[in-house]
Amino acid sequence: MGDEQPKEQLSGHIQHTCEHKPEQKNAEIKIEKPKLSLKQSLIHFYDTKYRKILFFTLSLLILSVFLIGLKIAKTGDFVEKDISLSGGMTITIFHEQSYDIKELQNYLASQFPDKQLSIRSLTQLGKTVGIIVEGTDIDSDKVIASLGQKIGTISAEDYSVSMMGSSLGNTFFRETLKAIFVSFMFMGLVVFLYFGENLKMKFIATIATFIVGAMIFGGTTSIIKDFIAYILGLGLITLYYKNNRPSFIMILTVFADLVVTLAVVNLLGMKISTAGIASFLMIIGYCVETNILLTTKVTKKKEGSVIERILDAFKTGFIMTATAVSAVLIALVFTQSDVIKEIMAILLIGLIADMIYTWGQNVALLRIYLEKKSANHELHN
């Protein structure tokens, strides 16, 4: 037949057609995913990888507890205390002259190698008006005589000496720790009263919290009474866990913030004074504020998805923290007072830790809680 094509040519045409069909098919189904911006990528990671963020925050908390444990094993105490808490002698020398504090510190260390002495400048309105020497089990006359050889004659009118007994310092330290514990209990009560739903449990928690406060600070000092108060406090935390999980999560977050802050303070070698204790109390108050903001937005607000509510809370919380950090940094840079510097330094560490634990640990635990609550609701329906 004249119209027939040669078999070889026809076979080649069919083979050629078959070879190109898969390539055309692949070309048709290939879809390029839109590239996400850096902001979108961060939000996507934050939304989907919150369990990994939780693992990081819990690991950091465990490491902090371990470091504090090492501190206790080495020194017998979980924090480095200054004279106002540990007891000792403070010598204030009034000399309107600037000194190289590091040089004076090394000089005193060489003169009294078996003593622990610290020295710092005393300033007023940005002007140096003297130096302060602190130490434990030191002879003030010998220290004054030694410094006189270095900076010049020091008359009796040029210095003053104050003593803080070790027992008095330790007693004051224990009292400040009790104050932190009681403030923690009342913080937990306020949170539970706001987020809890069981009126009977709220009443029980209120009565128990006031009993804890009365046992800690009322009457004569008693180890047995304090022990009972601490056990009752742990019972209250258990009550919060069983009756209102968001309240327990918030208490855990504030506790983690304090522990991590303390661990960092120890790593930096900072000595804690009475002012430092006050800064820890301030951290508790600030952490409660940001965590209440987050928990209220996530659990009580119904509009939008969970991640949208979290991001809405984060915008406000971030502005609050950024403002506080800015004020703290300005104080750190411009203040001449060592007491204010100590407070501001601890506050700065606490604010950074609060960012990690409020928007990391608290967010993750709240999301897990809401997921389980939703799953249980669907199961019962």
Last residue in a domain, options 164, 195, 217: 164
Question: Which structural domain, as residue segments, surrounds residue 111?
Answer: 88-164
Question: What whole-number distance in Å separates Cα of residue 358 and Cα of residue 1?
Answer: 86
Number of helical (H) and strand (E) elements in the chain, helices listed first: 14, 4
Whether 74 and 176 map to the same domain: the answer is: yes
Whether 235 and 113 map to the same domain: the answer is: no
Specify if 40 maps to a domain.
no
Given this model, what pLDDT does residue 33 score? 60
If DSSP codes are grouped into helix, strand and coil, which group holds residue 161?
Answer: strand
Half-sphere exposure of 205 (CA within 13 A, CB side): 29
Whether 159 and 272 map to the same domain: the answer is: no
Given this model, what pLDDT does residue 362 score? 93
Using 70 as the pLDDT threshold, list the residues of the chain that sit under it: 1-34, 84, 87, 124-126, 164-170, 172, 377-378, 380-381
Given this model, what pLDDT does residue 173 score? 72
Element (H, E) at 54: helix 50-75
Specify if 359 maps to a domain.
yes
Last residue in a domain, options 121, 149, 164: 164
Whether 215 and 357 map to the same domain: the answer is: yes
Given this model, what pLDDT does residue 2 score? 45
Whether 65 and 105 map to the same domain: the answer is: no
Whether 195 and 320 map to the same domain: the answer is: yes
Whether 157 and 186 map to the same domain: the answer is: no
Given this model, what pLDDT does residue 1 score? 44
pTM of the model: 0.77
Given this model, what pLDDT does residue 210 score? 93
- The CA-based diameter of the chain, rounded to the nearest angstrom, is 134
310 in Cβ contact with 50 (< 8 Å): no
Given this model, what pLDDT does residue 265 score? 93
118 in Cβ contact with 105 (< 8 Å): yes
Whether 109 and 199 map to the same domain: the answer is: no
Given this model, what pLDDT does residue 30 score? 54
Given this model, what pLDDT does residue 18 score? 47
